[in-house]
Amino acid sequence: MFVGESGVGRIIRRTCEVIRELGTDEPDKVRAAGVIDLPTIQRYLNFHFSVTIDLFGSDQSSNAATFYTSGLKGRFEEGKRQDDHRLRDATYRILDVADGRLVEREVPMLNALNEVLRDDYIRDSVAGVERWNRIIEKAGLPFRLKVPHKAFNRRIGTLSGIKVNPEGRVVSEREWNEKVRDWLPSEEDRAFVASLMGRVIEPGKFANWIAPPMVGINGKPIDFEYVRFD
């Protein structure tokens, strides 16, 4: 997670620098200065988080149980788990949908191993987002990034059949359609971000929308010529 976390952190740091220089966090003015405003970063966070946690698969999976008992699948830091590692009698609480509402249900852990891994990843992601928030806090800005609810924008498993806002509230199809542009990147957001993607190859120079790294690779100076084009 370090590479992605540090890269996004540099984008956030640059945005905070520009906000302080401008004396405003109005998205239009921040964008006009050539950086990505914080609400847009939040929408991208919502999108990438939701599609990434879908990659862990369905919340209940007989294949996951089979692979685990065959020794082909494990939990995060399996060796540090304080149980018998067989999980034959263990259970796990997952989210389910009942009468249009989110409810918790206890199921055999062997069948919920995708969900176990997903929850471990979510905890790791929350910690990473808090490190980004420390960048914003250090800049003296009140904005805070948030990890959306794990039922938000799901396309795989039980939760794919329900619309949930980033705070975890079930919403109607109409409300979803009315507010989705506030929650996920719009076509305009994507076009704006794409417009910033220009080539910068001069050593020591960086695109305007991202801050330089704190240190160079292997302790080299920031303007070290890592790649030669001659």
pLDDT in tens, 8-33: 999 999 999 999 999 999 999 999 99
Give the angle 46-168-166 at the CA atoms, nearest 5°: 20
pLDDT of residue 222: 84
The confidence band for 224, taking pLDDT boundaries of 50, 70 and 90, is confident
- Smallest CA-to-CA distance from 67 within 110, 119, 117 is with 110
- For the chain, list the domains and their CATH numbers: 2-219 (1.10.620.20)
Q: What average pLDDT does the chain have?
A: 94
Please identify which residue in the block is written with the tokens 């948030």.
146
pLDDT of residue 126: 96
Instruction: Report the percent of the chain where pLDDT is more than 90.
Output: 84
Please identify which residue in the block is written with the tokens 């089979």.
66
Mean pLDDT, range 72-76, rounded to an integer: 92
The confidence band for 2, taking pLDDT boundaries of 50, 70 and 90, is low
pLDDT of residue 220: 85
Are 213 and 204 in contact by the 8 Å Cβ rule? The answer is no
pLDDT in tens, 84-126: 999 999 999 999 988 889 999 999 999 999 999 999 999 999 9
Six-digit token pair at 43? 């929408």
pLDDT in tens, 183-198: 999 999 999 999 999 9
